[in-house]
Structures are given as C-alpha cells and as structure tokens.
Amino acid sequence: MKYLTKNTKKIWWGLKSFGAIHYYGNPSKKLKVIGVTGTSGKTTTATLLYKIAMALGYKTGLIGTVENLIAGEKIATNAKGPSTTPDSVTLTKLFSKMLESGCEYVFMEVSSHALDQNRVAGVNFVGGIFTNLTQDHFDYHKNFENYFTAKKKFFNMLPARAFALTNADSVYGLKMLKGIKANPFSYGFLGEESKVHFHGEIKKLDFHGLDLLFNQIEVESKLLGKFNAYNLLAVWSACSLLGFDMSKVNKVLESVTPPSSRFEYFISKKGVIGVVDYAHKPDALENVISTARGIVEEAHKGGRVISVFGCSGDKDPLKRPIMGKIGANLSDFAIFTSDNPRSEEPANILEQMKPDLSPEEIKKIKIIVDRDEAIREVSKIAKENDIVLLMGKGHETYQDIKGVKYPWSEMDRLKKALQ
C-alpha cells in the first residue's frame, strides 16, 4: 500500500510500476487497438495488418504468437512461457511502451484462453475480427460450446463505436454478431455478393500467388493457398473499415510477405520444394496439405505431397486421430513424428494418430519417433517436383521433451536435409 499517498502523481506512477494501468489511466484508450480471434489465421491476419499500417506510414504495434513489435522493434516480454495473448500486466506494459513510442494502431491476437481468463478485460478495442472456428484446445475448453462461448465473449465486449468483422463462410461466423453492441460487418467468398459487406473471388491460385477480386476490385498477392485468400480478405476488409487509402493498401498487398513459418518455402538444388508451416490443428493441417496438392496439380505435375507432422503432448488428445486421418488421406506419403511430446511418451502419441486409418492409408504412412530422423528420411524419399511439408512447430525455437527444451529450427533442419 505504499503507493497510496495524497500525491496524485505518485499514485499514477505507483500504479504504472505496479502494472495496474488498466484501472487508472488505461493506455489502450489512447491507442486504436484491433483484435483478431479465431482458431486459425490470427497470426497472419494481425501481422499483415501491422505490415500494411507500417507501410502506410503509421507507427504501429503488434502483439501475437510469433513476436511483439513496436514500430519495427522486437519487444521481449516477461510473460511466463509462450502465449498468444500476454497476461494483463504484461499487456498493459506493452500498451504503455507503444503509446510512449508514438504508436497510433495496435493489432493483436486474442486467444480463447485469454478471453476465458479475462486477460483482455479493460482493453479499449476499436475493432474485432473473427477468422474461423474449428476443433482446438478441447483439453482446456472440453467442447465446442465452451470454445465458441469464449470467442463470442470478445465480440460481446466490443463497444458500440467499434466494428465487428466476421467470416460469413464459417458456420459460427454470423453467430458472433448476435446481440453485440458494435457495428456488424461480414466478409466471405461463398454465396451472393449482396449477402456480405466484403465479397471475395479467387481468379487464380498457383505457386506464384493469388489473383483475387475483392468487391470487384483486383487484388494480387504472393501469399499461397485458399486459406490465405480468406486471411487477405479479412485484412482488406479491416483496412477499409479503418479508413486506410485502399489504392495504397492494394499496392502493399502485392509485395507483402506472410509471418515466419506460415507456408514458408524454398526450392532445393534437386528441385524439391520444402515447406515449413506452423499447422498444428486439424483445419490448418488440411489447409496446408490441400494447398500443396493444388500446387502440384497446377504447376508440378508428377510431383507428390509428402507430409511430416505429429501432435503435441499434454494437449487435446481428441485431435490426434483426426489429424492422422487428414495427413494420411490427403498426402501421397506421410511420416508421423514427434512434436513437443512434453511429459508424454512420443510413441504413444503417434499410435493415437492411427485408429481411423484405412488399410490403404496405413500403407501410406511411416512412424519415426525422432523428428530429426524423420526429416532425414524424407530427404531420401523426395525427388524433383515433390513438395515436402514439415508441419507443427513452425517458428518455435525448441523441442519440448520431458521438461527439457532442446534448441530447434525447422527451416534450418529441412534445408540441411534437402540441399
């Protein structure tokens, strides 16, 4: 209680150092904070918005899974362990730094855990974006109803002056808008153009990128895949709602790159395409493999899609057979391997990925517990025009095994194996 003096200035600085600005002089009230929630696409959507705002000359902050940035500077946090959305004290300190640095906009990922635990209570959002909702985090939420309720909490908390932008093509998209105070908007590719505020159409999709129509305006991007078309439409829609110069936005989108390890690729000397992606949940896995499949059919005829992935330990075991089925079914060949087994036995996790596989799919998979060995094995199998997908860890710099975090780099190891 030493900060409770009669001097208002001392009270202010005491609260600031104590991490309680949410309750006295909330710094987010002076920032335009836009939150992005959903199962997949949060990182890409928030990062692209950050990059666009920066390119347009606005000082901007980013708070997300991969990194926290203030106008180009990477900011370390005191958060305990990796977290999509920091705890409220860390979040307040980040907002304060962004405000002191002259930031006008902040784009941040808002996770279901953060919403359920009230980590973003008191944040003054001017806009919210919903990407999609598929199975994830059932180890925490237990079922879809609880998971949806956590996400819906974000839209319920948006003030009347904010915008609420949702993916109308998602089963849960329009449900997010029910009973909210904020101004509702929707985007989508399916259905009639008149049914959504922002309508998209894919004109071309190949290994060179995407040619799109957004509200009949031509937009080009180097990003790959249908899932990125949705991310781009969400970003484009948000930029329009924020009043950005859309002719400049369209120009930036032509050259903007995705976040690290989001379908990040290279081509080896023998013509194998190596891809690293953070996909670690069923819908993301399906999106990445389907994108690779489309590329092979369009531009690399005769090539195969070879997937290398696993499932995390101590997290939602219900995902394991689903992911095993997706990987074996959509790939020409798949290697099941370790992905942060944590306290569990890796071999047990991999066995739990097999129950739903048909005899034909069983023939298309191989189980290699050691991830390094799995990467070396795929380098022996892959040939020219094949696409090798290394999925699950993405940007992470460690492999978590029995309480020890071993140094790790997906891209470095895949390049070393394939070159």
Same domain, 43 and 88: yes
Tell me, yes or no, whether 377 lies in a domain.
yes
Contact in structure between 378 and 391 (CB atoms under 8 Å): no
What's the confidence (pLDDT) of residue 135?
56
Q: Is residue 20 located within the same domain as residue 138?
A: yes
What's the pLDDT at 83?
54
Question: Has residue 2 been placed in a domain?
Answer: no
How does pLDDT run across 9-23, given as a tens digit for each residue?
A: 332 233 333 333 333
- Give the count of beta carbons closer than 10 Å to the beta carbon of residue 186: 22
**Same-domain pairing of 247 and 273:** no
Contact criterion met (CB below 8 Å) for 241 and 127: yes
Element (H, E) at 230: helix 226-241
Q: Which domain holds residue 60?
A: 8-255
> How many domains are contained in the chain?
2
Residue 76: per-residue pLDDT: 66
Q: What is the DSSP string of 92-135?
A: HHHHHHHHHTT--EEEEE--HHHHHTTTTTT--EEEEEE----S
**CA 407/CA 375 separation, integer angstroms:** 16
Number of helices followed by number of strands (H, E) in the chain: 14, 19
What's the pLDDT score for residue 19?
A: 35
Looking at the domain assignment, is residue 3 inside a domain?
no
CA 29 remoteness from chain centre: 26
Among residues 255, 289, 309, the one where a domain terminates is: 255
Q: Decide if 247 contacts 360 (C-beta within 8 A).
A: no
What sign does the dihedral 279-282-284-289 (CA atoms) show? positive
- Asked whether the beta carbons of 128 and 182 are under 8 A apart, the reply is yes
Residues 234 and 89 placed together within one structural domain of the fold: yes
Residues 224 and 289 in one domain: no
Question: Which CATH number characterizes residue 197's domain?
Answer: 3.40.1190.10
Task: Round to whole Å and give the CA distance between 32 and 98.
Answer: 11
Given a contact cutoff of 8 angstroms between Cβ atoms, the answer to whether 44 and 131 are in contact is no
Considering the domain architecture, whether residues 273 and 350 belong to the same structural domain is answered as yes
| CATH number of the structural domain spanning residue 275 | 3.90.190.20
If asked whether residues 167 and 32 sit together in one domain, one would say yes
Same domain, 298 and 231: no
pLDDT at residue 136, as a whole number: 57
State CA 83 to chain mean position distance: 12
Q: Is residue 1 domain-resident?
A: no
Residues 47 and 104 in one domain: yes
* 3-state DSSP assignment of residue 217: strand
Under-50 pLDDT residues of the chain = 1-24, 78-82
Residues in the chain: 419
**Same domain? 177 vs 270:** no
Q: So what's the pLDDT on residue 87?
A: 84
Q: Please, where are the H alpha helices in 242-278?
A: 246-255
199 lies in the same domain as 332: no
Q: Same domain for 179 and 270?
A: no
So what's the pLDDT on residue 54? 98
